[in-house]
Chains A and B, each alone.
Chain A
Amino acid sequence: MRIPCPFCGARDSREFVFRGDAQPVRPGGDDAGAMFDYLYLRDNPAGAFEELWYHAQGCRNWLRVTRNTVTHAITDARLARPEPAA
């Protein structure tokens, strides 16, 4: 599997560290129910999936990758945090 890093180009997946589902966002406050949802519950779709990868052995950017979990085909990869406007 090759991941098209927007900074480095298409690179072997072993250069990257997988972080998982990009959807869950850590909730603020002390709502135990929201924290349970964030920690444990996953949509886990069979098909298009947005996930976070870290290019540890490359540019060290966090990427937001759209990958099909049934075919492993990657349709999009962008920086998780866009460049701030100059």
Chain B
Amino acid sequence: MRYSIVQLARQALGRHRGWAPAWRDATPKDGYDVVIVGGGGHGLAAAYYLAKVHGITNVALVERGWIGGGNAGRNTTIIRSNYGLPGNEPFYEWSMKLWEGLEQDLNYNAMVSQRGVLNLYHSDPQRDAYARRGNAMRMHGVDATLLDADAVRKMAPFLDFDNARFPIDGGLLQERGGTARHDAVNWGYARAASALGVDIIQNCEVTGFLRDASGAVTGVETGRGTIRAGKVGLAVAGMTSHVAAKAGLKLPIESHVLQAFVSEGLKPLIPGVITYGAGHFYVSQSDKGGLVFGGDIDGYNSYAQRGNLPVVEDVCEGAMALMPMIGRVRMLRSWGGIMDMSMDGSPIIDHTPIPGLYLNAGWCYGGFKATPASGWCFAHLLATDTAHDTATAYRLDRFRTGHVIDEKGAGAQPNLH
């Protein structure tokens, strides 16, 4: 069923009783060409692009719980491509370009809103670093504008510009950045993939891998039976170590909990996404009106999907230092998601040492914005056995060879948080 204004009017006349489920809740077949493990945004996008771009429709996506029930539904919905390193910037810009055409491509309203991402700077050295990053972005054809304090004041007059310790001197603005509706992204990809023939199998936990005599992976053991596969792709960020261990892999990843917060609903207040340059705090406002904000990881290994009070206080202190008016707002909810913290803070989209097993992992706390390009590049790898042009740096062996991508120098344990 194609969604359109005509369809909406027709369904309204039928008192909205004619809407069909957006995707098929499939039961597993004996075997598929490709099995993707993990029904988050990255797995769903990979399944969709496998079918759409590469014509591989005999695909199953298996998910332990329900699709979008993990980090895909726990992030703070920010999209941007303001990276500085050559290994990162083309990839994230490809993601941004896919975001810009996503809704027409999927025929689904993902509420992509390019309201701007503003990184504030608070000192001359930080301004220089931001200018350098902005120039690196522009050399890759990406928009970046360096603003002085007056220009920032026009956008966000409520910030504490004259803070004695961290005055706001300006910011680096990416106007094409913004937010998207995270759940709708998952649902849109699921609907579009399902329509192309992909089987989406929920409540189907992978408990082991089928191996042939040579050791190659030839399928997965699941709670709903054995599924043979030509290739198996893991897109289970947060749980990567746990699942990969079932195939005997030990990876350069630690799982950490990252908390996020939302306030009560307010009238329009925050114009875009604003990040604090002197503490770990960032904020945007959802279309429903809640201020969505977050900060640093808790800093210890965790699979618990909930954090502790010290980081809550740290985030709120950052918020108060940047925009004191936020002290009048009540926090409504907080939650935690499990981050795949790779050791250099950058992702992995690559073969594994085991034939037939492919890895999409290590997204740290930046996976949501990458969803379309991650799916695109993982599908490319699964279909062609070669890395996509924008993802050649995301190799698993880069830690062994020394080609790490230290965009922020903030992996799991650099002690730089």
Question: Which of chain A's residues have a CB closer than 8 A to the CB of B255?
Answer: 44, 46, 69
Q: State the interface size on chain B (CB cutoff 8 A).
A: 23
Q: Is the CB of A41 within 8 A of B300?
A: no
Q: Is the CB of B250 within 8 A of A43?
A: yes
> How far, in whole Å, are A1 and B399 apart by their CA atoms in the complex?
33
Q: Is the CB of B251 within 8 A of A46?
A: no
Smallest distance from the beta carbon of A57 to chain B beta carbons, Å? 12
Q: Interface residues of A: mostly helix, strand, loop or mixed?
A: mixed
With A36-B399, A36-B400, A46-B242 known as contacts, the answer to whether A41 contacts B303 (CB < 8 A) is no
For chain B residues 362-417, which have a beta carbon within 8 Å of chain A?
Answer: 399-400, 412-413
Q: Is B301 an interface residue (CB 8 A)?
A: yes
Q: Is B302 an interface residue (CB 8 A)?
A: yes
> How far, in whole Å, are A4 and B86 apart by their CA atoms in the complex?
46
Partner of B241, one of A36, A39, A42: A42
Q: Is the CB of A44 within 8 A of B253?
A: yes
Question: Which of chain B's residues have a CB closer than 8 A to the CB of A70?
Answer: 303-304
Partner of A1, one of B242, B308, B400, B413: B308
Question: Which of chain B's residues have a CB closer than 8 A to the CB of A36?
Answer: 399-400
Q: Is the CB of A40 within 8 A of B252?
A: yes
Q: In the complex, which residue of chain A has the Cβ closest to the Cβ of B243?
A: A46
Question: Which of chain B's residues have a CB closer than 8 A to the CB of A71?
Answer: 304
One digit per residue, 1 when the CB lies within 8 angstroms of any chain B CB and 0 when it does not, for chain A 43-68 equals 11110010100000000000000010
Question: Which of chain A's residues have a CB closer than 8 A to the CB of B301?
Answer: 20-21, 44, 49, 51, 69
Q: Is B60 an interface residue (CB 8 A)?
A: no
> How far, in whole Å, are A49 and B310 apart by their CA atoms in the complex?
21
For chain B residues 15-69, which have a beta carbon within 8 Å of chain A?
Answer: none
One digit per residue, 1 when the CB lies within 8 angstroms of any chain A CB and 0 when it does not, for chain B 244-278 equals 01000011111100000000000000000000000
Partner of A40, one of B300, B303, B310, B343: B343
Question: Which of chain B's residues have a CB closer than 8 A to the CB of A20?
Answer: 254, 301, 412-413
Q: Is B289 an interface residue (CB 8 A)?
A: no
Smallest distance from the beta carbon of B256 to chain A beta carbons, Å? 10
Q: Is the CB of B302 within 8 A of A18?
A: no
Smallest distance from the beta carbon of B361 to chain A beta carbons, Å? 11
> How far, in whole Å, are A36 and B400 apart by their CA atoms in the complex?
6
> How far, in whole Å, are A46 and B310 apart by their CA atoms in the complex?
23
Known: A18-B300, A42-B253, A71-B304. 14 other contacts (CB 8 A): A20-B301, A39-B343, A40-B252, A40-B399, A41-B252, A42-B252, A43-B250, A44-B255, A44-B301, A46-B239, A46-B241, A51-B300, A51-B301, A69-B303
Q: List 25 A-B contacts (CB under 8 A).
A: A1-B308, A12-B310, A13-B300, A20-B301, A20-B412, A21-B254, A21-B301, A39-B343, A41-B251, A42-B241, A42-B250, A42-B252, A42-B253, A42-B254, A44-B241, A44-B242, A44-B255, A45-B241, A46-B255, A46-B303, A49-B301, A69-B255, A69-B302, A69-B304, A70-B304
